[in-house]
A = this chain, B = another copy of it.
Amino acid sequence: MPYEPITPIAWRDGQVEMIDQTRLPGELVIIRPRTVEEMWDAIKKLKVRGAPAIGIAAALGLYLAIKDSRAGDRAEFEAELKQAAAYLASSRPTAVNIFWALKRVQQAVAAATTDDVSALKELVLKEALAIRDEDEAMCQAIGKNGAPLLQDAEAVLTHCNAGTLATARYGTALAPIYYLASRGKVLKVFADETRPLLQGARLTAWELHQAGIPVTLITDNMAAAVMARGWVQAVIVGADRITANGDVANKIGTYGVAILAREHGIPFYVAAPASTFDLSLSSGDQIPIEERDPAEVSHFGLRPTAPEGINIFNPAFDVTPHRYVTAIITERGIIRPPYKQNIARII
Contacts and interface: CB of A to CB of B under 8 A. Distances in A.
Interface of A: 24-26, 159, 190, 192-196, 198, 201-202, 205-206, 209-210, 214-226, 228, 252-253, 255-257, 259-260, 263, 297-298, 300-301, 303-307, 309-315, 318-319
Given A259-B260, A313-B216, A221 B25 contact: no
Given A206-B307, A305-B202, A256 B223 contact: yes
A38 to B, nearest CB: 27
A195 B198 contact: no
B196 A219 contact: yes
A342 to B, nearest CB: 25
Contacts of A312: 216-218
Contacts of A205: 306-307, 310
Contact of A252 (B25, B26, B222, B313): B222
B225 A255 contact: yes
A215 B311 CA distance: 6
Given A195-B195, A217-B310, 20 more contacts: A26-B304, A193-B306, A195-B219, A195-B221, A196-B219, A198-B306, A201-B298, A209-B309, A216-B310, A216-B312, A218-B314, A219-B253, A221-B252, A221-B257, A222-B315, A225-B256, A226-B313, A228-B319, A259-B263, A263-B263
Contact of A225 (B297, B311, B318): B318
Nearest to A257: B221
Contacts of A315: 222, 225
Nearest to A228: B255
Contacts of A193: 195, 297, 305-306
B218 A297 contact: yes
A196 B193 CA distance: 10
Contacts of A226: 313
Nearest to A26: B304
A88 to B, nearest CB: 30
Contacts of A26: 304
Given A195-B220, A224-B255, A301-B300, A202 B306 contact: yes
Nearest to A315: B225
Given A260-B259, A307-B206, A220 B217 contact: no
Contacts of A216: 310-313
A221 B195 CA distance: 7
Nearest to A198: B305
Contacts of A301: 300, 303
A305 B22 CA distance: 11
A24 B314 CA distance: 22
Nearest to A206: B307
